[in-house]
Amino acid sequence: MPVTRGFVGKRRGHERRLPPGQYDVGGSWPVLTAEATPRIAPDQWSLTVDGLVERPSTWSWDEIHRLPESTYFGDIHCVTTWSKFDVAFKGVSVDALLEAAGPMPEAAYVLAHSSTGYTTNLPMEDVVDGKAWVVWEYGGKPLPREHGGPVRLLVPHLYFWKSAKWVSRLELMAHDRPGFWEQNGYHDRGDPWLEQRYQGD
Ligand SMILES: Nc1nc2c(c(=O)[nH]1)N[C@H]1C(S)=C(S)[C@@H](COP(=O)(O)O)O[C@H]1N2
Ligand SMILES: [Mo]
């Protein structure tokens, strides 16, 4: 029956897009913050890439805007089970920052720091080759403060707790060091397709 086949095909497409245990949150964008939302003026903001790099580097708001612009259009997935389809972010790729800073061969992990004290850890493989961004625009508008504005990290292929809001530093390290949620029971890597929500998943 062609009609049944079409229906099944559509459902399969949707399921392919939604990682296991997730639902489509639709038009809203929930705010999830474990701390008070800071007010950071763009001219007070800066981002440093240091640790195991040849050239420790810091960019001001103006300086980071001079790097080649890069965009993400796609989906995001929160460990609290909402997923949001077709979001558009603009900023720079983490690759561009690393190219300037020159990671040393021993650099195997990154600890992303927020100016609020929040941290989250990532293997280098998860932030290179066009998989991670530092972003300041959402849907063509400045990134809202409650969502990490002026600038947040964006690692959309992992659960959203890896996308540190109000990002201020990327520290390259030889050894893995758990961040805030990873110390509090969340999975070390957080791949939504493997449902890596909590330690032991
Ligand atoms: N600095 C900082 N970044 C953070 C958090 C936080 O509490 N502080 N929460 C994380 C978590 S658990 C999630 S799910 C996402 C939520 O991002 P949103 O509020 O923009 O949806 O931000 C992540 N980044
Ligand atoms: Mo979260």
Q: What is the pLDDT of residues 44-91, one digit of tens each?
A: 999 999 999 999 999 999 999 999 999 999 999 999 999 999 999 999
d(CA 43, CA 11): 47
**Residues near ligand 1 with C-beta < 6 Å?**
29-35, 78, 114, 116, 118, 147-148, 160-161, 163-166, 181
Single-letter residue type at 74: G
Give CA separation, 145 vs 22, 52, 56, 176, 180, in Å: 26, 30, 27, 29, 20
What domains are defined for the chain? 3-7+43-176 (3.90.420.10)
d(CA 53, CA 34): 30
d(CA 170, CA 8): 44
Q: Which atom of ligand 1 is nearest to the CA of 153?
A: 24
Give the Å distance between the CA of 34 and the centre of ligand 1. Answer: 7
Q: How many other C-beta atoms are found inside a 10 Å radius of the C-beta of residue 143?
A: 21
Query: Over the stretch 155-199, which tens digit does the pLDDT of each residue have?
Result: 999 999 999 999 999 999 999 999 999 999 999 999 999 999 999
Q: Which atom of ligand 1 is nearest to the CA of 159?
A: 14
